[in-house]
Structure 1
Amino acid sequence: MSADTTRGRLVLLGSKGGPALRPGGPWPSSSLLEIGGRNIVVDCGLGVTRGLADNGISLKVLDLIFITHLHSDHLLELGPLIHTAWTAGLATPVTVFGPPGTGHYWQRFCQAMEFDIEIRITDEGRPDIRDMVSIAEFGEGRVMEERGLKVSALRVDHPPVTDCFALRFEHAGQSVVFSADTAYFPPLADFAKGADILVHEAMLEEGIERLVARTGNGARLREHLLASHSFAEEAGRIASDAGVKRLVLNHLIPADDPEIGEADWVAAVRKTWADDLTIARDGLVVGLSSEKTVPGEETA
């Protein structure tokens, strides 16, 4: 993991909103947060395992996993990530924090993989993966407090999903907030007050019609996007009201439109946010320090 555990870093493993993949495009939602010496995976969209490996992360040190909500672009690869880490030599406990229903997912995953799990325990002498993983389902409020790390959750507005939670991670004066998927939600500004980094989902209005045309399901998809997600300028308004140090636009919708570039995202968010800004891309690293950039990071 990161050599400087006192400083910490955020690695954006998957930066697109939604589960669909297109040739050469980015991967769905997943992030790695290294803070207080802990290795924390936030959301497990498709590609999270490869993203961790490509960024030099040993799967054997998988520690804490947080799931913001049960949409597939945040959950699909939770089981495969843990199972792949297990086959790579993981032998220490893993705790998964998620909304109600996370335990059901894990139980059914283990049932689906029962043949493989049983035969590897017998044939390869591996510990039982089902004994290594603890599922902690949470609601709004304090989620955990351990070894100086504090995690709290705020229910956000992401209809029709009711159990969708923003997450705030705090350790030794450092703080990182993930908005999760949400429509413009003013209470999030208080939740993110003074954070070093706010990772907020973002949508560009000019790309919605082209996205709907490519994906299909026209009016229903458009209706969902407008009711359940935030425009970039709304993310900027939350960041301004919260007084955060850096805004990271992530879970980009659309993330793979050839007619939309980083300058378009910057122009939209600059209507409401004037300070340090990062536009997500897969593999981008954001340092947790007073410095504005680290290698591989973009600012605007």
Structure 2
Amino acid sequence: MTARLTLLGTKGGPAIRPGGPSPTSSLLDLAGRRLVVDCGLGVARGLVETGMKLSELDLVFITHLHSDHVLELGPLIHTAWTAGLNTPVKVYGPVGTADVWLHFCASLAYDIETRIDDEGRPDIRELVTVLEYGEGGVLAEDGLTVSALRVDHPPVTDCFALKFEADGKSVVFSADTAFFPPLAEFARSADILVHEALHPEGLERLVARTGNGARLRQHLTASHTFAEDVGRIASQANTAHLVLHHLVPADDPEITARDWSREVRKTWSGELTIGSDGLVIPLD
């Protein structure tokens, strides 16, 4: 299996609009494993579009419990189950992830019980193990290691950047965060740094068309990173390749890839990719 990163959904925030991108999710092929990182709305469709068989799902990582990162966790696993999943799935997420899964199963109890009895399926609740993590080591298995760094995403306290390492390669996901200098050391010399980004002009356009604009501006500027500062983190980390993800805004036609690049290039001169849904980035 070729090591690669596929961006499934690149929009920051839970809303979707006609013809626009989906909320946050990614697929990382590394160490012969297929790792799903975050489960925003549309993740199941995105995985299918990559050619992945949902019945092969086995590792899922959630960075934090905002809906644009976790809304489709239960539906993804359930859809995989209806597609033939009969092998264990491990879900790694912050404190509270187990409750998300438990309550999803409770809400679908009628369907689950019916399909077990009527279709002879294994009990989905027995296939899934949720492991809640904090800062530090998350997973070490068959040459794959995953570690976490708590980042600054108020008011969410349990929000974690994740670093995936295997076969001499490393990929770091910032998760959602304000400008957070310790992330640079965490991402030191990563092959790919996948970082969220906020565009200043796009922010003002978004605020102008939103009813609660002043409150929205306050939240976004306190808990997300302007693209220029993303470039600073990448430069300090000496990463090989910077990928912008969780774009705010991602669906404003006036804010183009060129506009994003112009902001990042103020502080970053290395390889740069502006994320879009379905984009595949090889690690080799």
**TM norm. shorter chain > 0.5:** yes
Shift of 1:35: 0.1
Aligned equivalents of 1:215, 1:256: Cα separation in 2? 14
User: Is 1:9 aligned to residue 1 of structure 2?
Assistant: no
Q: State the one-letter code of the partner of 1:62.
A: L
Q: Does 1:248 align with 2:243?
A: yes
Corresponding position of 1:283? 278
**Cα offset, 1:19, TM superposition:** 0.5
The DSSP-based 3-state class of the residue aligned with 2:145 is strand
Alignment partners' CA distance in 1, 2:62 and 2:210: 25
Offset, 1:244: 0.6
**Displacement of 1:212:** 2.1
Q: Please report how far the alpha carbon of residue 55 of structure 1 lies from its aligned counterpart in structure 2 after TM superposition.
A: 1.5
Distance 2:213 2:262 in 1: 27
Counterpart-to-counterpart distance in 2, 1:52 and 1:286: 15
How big is the shift at 1:215?
Answer: 3.7
Aligned to 1:35: 30
Task: State yes or no: 1:129 paired with 2:95.
Answer: no
Question: After superposition, where does 1:1-300 map in structure 2 within 5 Å?
Answer: 5=1, 7-289=2-284
Work out the CA distance in 1 between the residues paired with 2:27 and 2:127: 21
2: CA distance, partners of 1:94 / 1:142: 19
Percent identity, aligned pairs only? 69
Match of 1:298?
A: none
Q: Output one character per residue of 1:152-208: Cα deviation in whole Å (capped at 9) or x when no partner.
A: 000000000000000000001100000000000000000000100000000110011
TM-score of the pair, normalised by structure 2: 0.99
> 1:213 offset after TM fit, Å?
3.1
- Give a deviation string over 1:235-262, Cα, whole Å, max 9, x none: 1110110011100001000001111111
Provide the secondary structure at the position in 1 that maps to 2:209: helix
Return the alpha-carbon distance in structure 2 between the equivalents of residues 266 and 106 of structure 1: 38
Q: Secondary structure at the match of 1:41?
A: strand
Q: CA RMSD in A?
A: 0.7
Q: Distance in 2 between matches of 1:82 and 1:111?
A: 14
Q: Secondary structure at the match of 2:87?
A: coil
Residue 266 of structure 1: SS of its match in structure 2? Answer: helix
> How far does residue 149 in structure 1 lie from its aligned partner after superposition?
0.3
The amino acid of 2:155's aligned partner reads P
Equivalent position SS for 1:271: coil
Amino acid at match of 1:40: L
Distance between the aligned counterparts of 1:94 and 1:73, measured in 2? 21
| Distance in 1 separating the partners of 2:30 and 2:116 | 33
Letter in structure 2 aligned against 1:146: E
* Alpha-carbon distance in 1 for matches of 2:238, 2:260: 20
What TM-score comes out, normalization by structure 1 length? 0.94
- Rounded to whole Å, the distance in 1 between the matches of 2:256 and 2:81 is 39
